[in-house]
Structure 1
Amino acid sequence: MSSTMRAFVLTGPRECSVREVPAPRAAVGEVVVDVERAGVCGTDVEFFTGEMAYLHQGHSAYPMRLGHEWAGTVSAVGAGVDPAWLGRRVMGDTMLGDRTCRRCRKGHQHTCENRQEVGIRGGRPGALAEQLAVPAWSLHALPAEVDAVLGALVEPGGNALRAARATGAGPGDRALVLGPGTIGLLTAMFLRAAGAEVHLMGVGDGSFARSLGFEHVWTRETLPDLPFDAVVDATGAAEAPALAVDLVEPAGRVVGIGLAGRPSLLDTRALVLKDVTAVGVLSASPGLADTIAAYGSGAVDPRPLVAATVGLDEVGAVLAGQYRAGPGPKIHIDPRKP
């Protein structure tokens, strides 16, 4: 086993390189994973530009190694870890709670005040590297039907599954998703699988969403005057939460999963007088197992979202928005590519 590996290292805003770094070793209770695919996310872009709030709150600091959407094969296990994990294809939870605080003990480890987040928070190196070390308890085994591409889409899919479920929408319901990016489209896929009539609203001509089989794709100007039982805000627009409350039916549900770069404002009188239920979704953690099952059964197939798969040397260009790919919103990284 080599003592070093290649990894993408971010040293400051728009300052990055691929370096030879020490290869991880499996500490007590941890495993080492050979990374096969890692997704690039909007959070990674915010770290690249220096806009990510964690940098200013003291939760994260340069230099750092990004990458929290990943899949790979366990190549080493530490003391106290079941050796049966060796050779298994896995993905892992991003949110690593301390497992001792009240929130963790109540099953909400993804909200732990002391949590690490893989490739994001607390100095835990991420998956834009040839190898990754994570706690064995954070792993989810992948069945044969869920390949590396799907495995690296489980983390964003878990967020979307939770957002779709939070709407409560099913057969006979009409749901509107604001923002047809990766999370918005995944949410739409889970809503469709649940039997809801799905509408999407964004900018552009909506041709990619239509290619995925969604017939009702609109802009703000063309959105029809229809009753929406649920509205999901999957945008990064500060004005979107108020718009969602405005568009949803009385006694409907609004779900927020997008994060704006500045505070969002909405009139709580509208929330109260319309008897609207508002739900926020932070993490994929509670939805990972069911997302794997949905991918494995074919109920949801997000593969068309991946526009391209490139190597570590292209990550900087991807984060800078300089890489040109197909119509899908997601870029995957294969650290094994030269």
Structure 2
Amino acid sequence: MPEPEAGPGQVVIDVDRAGVCGTDVELFTGQMNYLHTGRSSYPLRPGHEWAGTVTAAGPGTDPAWVGRRVTGDTMIGCGNCPRCLAGRHHVCARLSELGISDGIPGALAERLAYPAAYLKALPATMDAGVGALVEPGGNALRSLEAAALNSGERLLVLGTATIGLLVAMFARARGIETHLLGHRERSLELARSLGFGNAWTRETLPDGAWDAVVDASNAPHLPALAVDLVEPGRRVVYVGLAGSPSTVDTRSIALKDVTAVGILGASAGLSGTITAYADGSVDPRGVIAATVGLDEIIDVLAGQRPAGAGAGPKILVDPRK
């Protein structure tokens, strides 16, 4: 790849860490739906979870960014349409998704050219790995806030991968009684090791009133289960995506007066996530399994766990390792 240059309104970033997401894996294997709709095409450089340091600023960009540690939004809108002007750039009709859709090469590289308008400053003391977890954390925080819970109420999170665990961490920080539902004993053991004693399989899940259910899984049968389990008049939040269509009976939603909320992207949750990580109320480091170099990325994208990896679901990349 040619060395990136900072065009008008852009910066160049030395990438310190990048996370590997399930979306990156689907882009690599060809399973990603965008490849079949034309929204994404090869060649494509993935990577949308990242942290780094600004090393150059292009024309029209504030030079004060140079030297700052940053992360940034995955969702890059046009900036001029009614959706963008109303603060909904993440659903812009001309949306570009960093490292996912055609337009902006992603962060699985030593350096990244990126629009300065979408940067988020990180504290100079924040660990690079933690900085790379801001993007998934933003999705998790948005999911929790969409659940509309108060301290002491009961939340059930479906899924014990990165997003599910982060949702649970944000919920715990707000005094919410948090339970997780998984199906692999290894992932349940990880959840328990992170302090979530209420980690269950479907067979062991206790009865009770679930004031909200967040589906952070990729299982096509769980969206319907979420509606079945949630208390009438409360909320179900969908942040996970199954590889095949899922079916939810809208009669169940209507007759239980349930509010169903979909979450696309971390945009509105990025700043809150940085604050929570910085003040220590949420510590995401337990989800990190290993940090590899770019020369190992092919095996990771193909689904192989690095030798010596811990129990966490997240693999990070150090481009200079």
Whether contact under 8 Å (1:25, 1:32) holds in the other structure is yes
Q: Which residue of 2 aligns with 1:119?
A: 99
How much does 1:71 deviate? 0.3
Q: Which residue of 1 aligns with 2:111?
A: 131
- Name the SS for the 2:206 alignment partner: coil
Q: Please state if 1:94 is matched with 2:74.
A: yes
Query: What do the CA deviations read for 1:11-48 (whole angstroms, capped 9, x no partner)?
Result: xxxxxxxxxx1010000000000000000000001111
Q: Which residue of 2 aligns with 1:307?
A: 289
- What's the Cα RMSD here? 0.8
Q: Which residue of 1 aligns with 2:20?
A: 40
Q: Please state if 1:52 is matched with 2:32.
A: yes
Q: Which residue of 1 aligns with 2:144?
A: 164
- Name the SS for the 2:50 alignment partner: strand
Whether contact under 8 Å (1:176, 1:232) holds in the other structure is yes
Q: Please state if 1:66 is matched with 2:46.
A: yes
2:298 maps to which of 316, 330, 333: 316
Q: Which residue of 2 aligns with 1:17?
A: none
Q: Please state if 1:241 is matched with 2:226.
A: no
1:328 maps to which of 312, 317, 320: 312
Query: What do the CA deviations read for 1:186-233 (whole angstroms, capped 9, x no partner)?
Result: 001111111110000001221100000001000011111111000000
Q: Where do 1:1-338 residues align within 5 Å?
A: 21-205=1-185, 206-324=188-306, 325-337=309-321
- Name the SS for the 1:22 alignment partner: coil
In the alignment of these two chains, the number of paired residues is: 317
Distance across 1 between alignment mates of 2:150 and 2:182: 22
Distance across 2 between alignment mates of 1:65 and 1:37: 15
In structure 1, what residue type is equivalent to 2:124? A
Q: 4+ residue stretches of structure 1 with deviation over 6 A?
A: none
How much does 1:238 deviate? 1.1
- Name the SS for the 2:234 alignment partner: strand
Distance across 2 between alignment mates of 1:81 and 1:153: 26
How much does 1:172 deviate? 2.1
In structure 1, what residue type is equivalent to 2:289? A
In structure 1, what residue type is equivalent to 2:247? L
How much does 1:267 deviate? 1.0
- Name the SS for the 1:250 alignment partner: strand
Query: What do the CA deviations read for 1:154-174 (whole angstroms, capped 9, x no partner)?
Result: 000000000011111221210
How much does 1:264 deviate? 1.3
Distance across 2 between alignment mates of 1:102 and 1:190: 32
Whether contact under 8 Å (2:68, 2:124) holds in the other structure is no
Query: What do the CA deviations read for 1:95-137 (whole angstroms, capped 9, x no partner)?
Result: 0000011111111001011111110112310000000001000
Distance across 2 between alignment mates of 1:293 and 1:87: 20
**Structure 1 gap ranges (5+):** 1-20
Whether contact under 8 Å (2:44, 2:102) holds in the other structure is no
- Name the SS for the 1:198 alignment partner: strand
In structure 1, what residue type is equivalent to 2:141? L
Whether contact under 8 Å (1:115, 1:122) holds in the other structure is no
- Name the SS for the 2:55 alignment partner: strand
How much does 1:145 deviate? 3.8
Distance across 1 between alignment mates of 2:242 and 2:203: 22
**Structure 2 gap ranges (5+):** none
Normalising by structure 2, we get a TM-score of 0.97
How much does 1:261 deviate? 1.3
Q: Which residue of 2 aligns with 1:16?
A: none
Aligned residues with identical type, % of pairs: 64
How much does 1:182 deviate? 0.2
Normalising by structure 1, we get a TM-score of 0.93
Query: What do the CA deviations read for 1:222-263 (whole angstroms, capped 9, x no partner)?
Result: 111111000000011111110000000111110000001121
